[in-house]
Structure 1
Amino acid sequence: MNTATTAKPITLNDTQTAVLTHAIDRTQGKVEWFPDTIKGGARKKVIEGLFTRAMIIGNNGDWIVTDAAYEALGRARPEQTAATETATPAGKKAARKAKAAPKTEASGEGEQAAPRTRENSKQAQVIAMLKRPEGATIAQICEATNWQAHTVRGTFAGAFKKKLGLTVTSDKAEGGVRVYRIAEAAPTA
């Protein structure tokens, strides 16, 4: 008697299939679209169903299609640099709660886990601009990222200060324009 078990093919419902197909065909594997009839709690159920079947994985607050989803749909994954896939709690609301939680020790040496950002993102571009000796103005950042001024200020307070723990300082010369910089961390004793 053969004791090896064969994997049961995963069956997806019509909505799950549509969501995965749309993500693969139109958004490079990022789950962003749901049928108009799927709202609120129903969307959460679709996400939870896909997550528990390992069809999607959380990545920095987004849901990304996994290799298992490509296989379930009978498709080959396109050759590309795959994003680092890390599991997150179900739903984006849970991810927001995780951001608000206090930072925990990452290792026994007292180091905290460093938040990750993509090197080619607009956020990384803004951080690089703010690390320059001359800093950057809101107008310069708006021009470089195509963001509006309130988005830049919100990024300073939200993503940079709360999520990444960065300190953004500003100064304004007499009659000049306000310039923002990332403050260098003071050495800890």
Structure 2
Amino acid sequence: MTKLTETQTIILSAGAQRPENIALPLPKGLAGAAAKMAVTKMIEHGWLLEVDANLRRNEPLWRETGDGHGTTLVVTDAGLLAIGIEPVVVKTVIAIRAHAAKAAAPKLPIQRAGTKQAQIIAMMQRPRGATVAEMVKATGWLAHTVRASVSGALKKKLGLPITAEKVEGRGTVYRLA
């Protein structure tokens, strides 16, 4: 078994604590040729693996591939074993963290009675629904404010199932299913 340097130990230990065992960012002060040499040696030993970075999740980049993509560094199971950590333990901890994150789901906003938003909801719950003009008349809001309230606050934030339908003679009618 190869003895780890202090830098290698720091990189592997930090990566083992991060989601998906991502080894980046490297320790402060490790840059340029020294970083490339350390990482290359760790890849040769099988402790790190260079994989495509998921830019949607803002994963840190090790290097750019030139085609609008990049790679990141991941600590392998061999890297975990090199610092004395069982890969099964790391995977269990990640699963527990993921479960805890799902359990702490955000609370939905509470709808207060007697507000203009409540008026709009009541109008859309009617069998015939409501048009923007009718909601403007009831609330005193401008048309763009009513439309923003329907699409932003009611559909996105409150998650209400609102449908829009063009009705001859009335225009677009909004209903709450």
Which is helix-richer, 1 or 2?
Answer: 2
Shorter-chain TM-score: what band? Answer: 0.3 to 0.5
When you count strand as a share of all residues, which structure comes out higher? Answer: 2
Specify the structure having the higher radius of gyration (Cα): 2
* TM-score (normalizing by structure 2): 0.39
TM-score in terms of structure 1 length: 0.37
